[in-house]
Structure 1
Amino acid sequence: MKRAVLALVLDALAILVFVVIGLSEHGLVLDLDQIVRVAWTFAVGMLLGHLAIRAWRAPFALWPQGVFVWAITIVTAMALRTLFRAGTELSFILVTCVVLGVLMLGWRAVASWIDRRRSREVLTEADLSERAVRTDPQPERTTPAPRP
């Protein structure tokens, strides 16, 4: 459950970073009202993506959870932006796909790498323990001396 909540928080943070970078690149005001006005469509899409793919089952998985959450976020946000006439120019869609892809899939790739690395370390420790048990020296068997 903790991982699922963390995945939601990290995706929300990715959206926030995207929105803040976009607003500042366009010289717009960085106040809470402006940030919420731009970010809400992406937040709705992210939540819908998490629910649709049941991301809580494997919240850090890049495939399929991460890719589907990212794709559903983009499609939902663009649909809502179109509905509310907030702008969906092709260049905006392409930049959104790339930046949110890097951010939303990037943290998952890093998390997967860390998980794999940790599981290897645990496996290595367990493997070493098992080898130590198997290689414990057995008492030497001496063959009796031949009788004359």
Structure 2
Amino acid sequence: MRFVPALVLDAVLVLVFAVIGRASHDEDPGGFLLTAWPFIVALLLGHLVAALLPGRPRRPWSLGWGAVVWAVTVVGGMLLRVVSGDTAQVAFIIVATLVLGIFLVGWRAVAALLRRRAHRERQSGGADAAEAAGGERIDDGVVASSEDAAEQSPDASGPDAVPDSDPHTR
């Protein structure tokens, strides 16, 4: 169930994409569901594919997960549009690919940067406080405690891992 917040945010962003697209063409923005439904269906499929991939990205808010969701959403959404009798002109494919990429991968990139920054701030300001609270100073001023060891898990490895992420956001 840890994927639900990422799925909800992704769905909202796909709906925003559809509203912006319809409004930019002077179409009734109220009909945004007609534009959005193929991409929403493909988005659900994208999350399923990301969850089932062997060696998959483990966190729904990771860049790897976002890349999988983005690719499946664009390709699947376009295919569903065409199969349902709508068009998929080259210009629309390009714009949809770029906008959905910015939306679906972009928020994950911002989240990763914020997690890294927060972790660095905790490390720089928290080393002396952690040592005073019973931690043990080891190489390069890093403070280790039994809790630190418990937080290091196999989940925290891989190309899409944020090695210095907040353990409570995993």
The structure carrying a bigger helix percent of its residues is 1
Other-structure match for 2:163: none
Q: How do residues 37-52 of structure 1 correspond to structure 2 at under 5 angstroms?
A: 37-52=34-49
| Separation (CA, whole Å) in 1 of partners of 2:80 and 2:105 | 22
| Separation (CA, whole Å) in 1 of partners of 2:117 and 2:4 | 22
Q: Given residue 59 of structure 2, which amino acid in structure 1 is its aligned partner?
A: A
Asked if structure 1 preserves the Cα contact closer than 8 Å seen for 2:17 and 2:99, the reply is: yes
Aligned length: 130
| Separation (CA, whole Å) in 2 of partners of 1:23 and 1:72 | 22
Other-structure match for 1:26: 25
Cα displacement string for residues 65-106 of structure 1 (whole angstroms, at most 9, x for unaligned residues):
110100000011011011012111111100000011111111
Say whether residues 1:61 and 2:62 are aligned partners.
yes
- Percent identical pairs in the alignment equals 42
Secondary structure of the residue aligned to 2:29 is coil
| Separation (CA, whole Å) in 1 of partners of 2:47 and 2:91 | 26
| Separation (CA, whole Å) in 2 of partners of 1:38 and 1:56 | 29
TM-score (norm. length: structure 2): 0.70
Say whether residues 1:123 and 2:123 are aligned partners.
yes
Q: CA RMSD in A?
A: 2.0
Secondary structure of the residue aligned to 1:57 is coil
5+ long unaligned stretches in structure 1: 135-148
TM-score (norm. length: structure 1): 0.79
**Shift in Å at residue 131 of structure 1?**
5.2
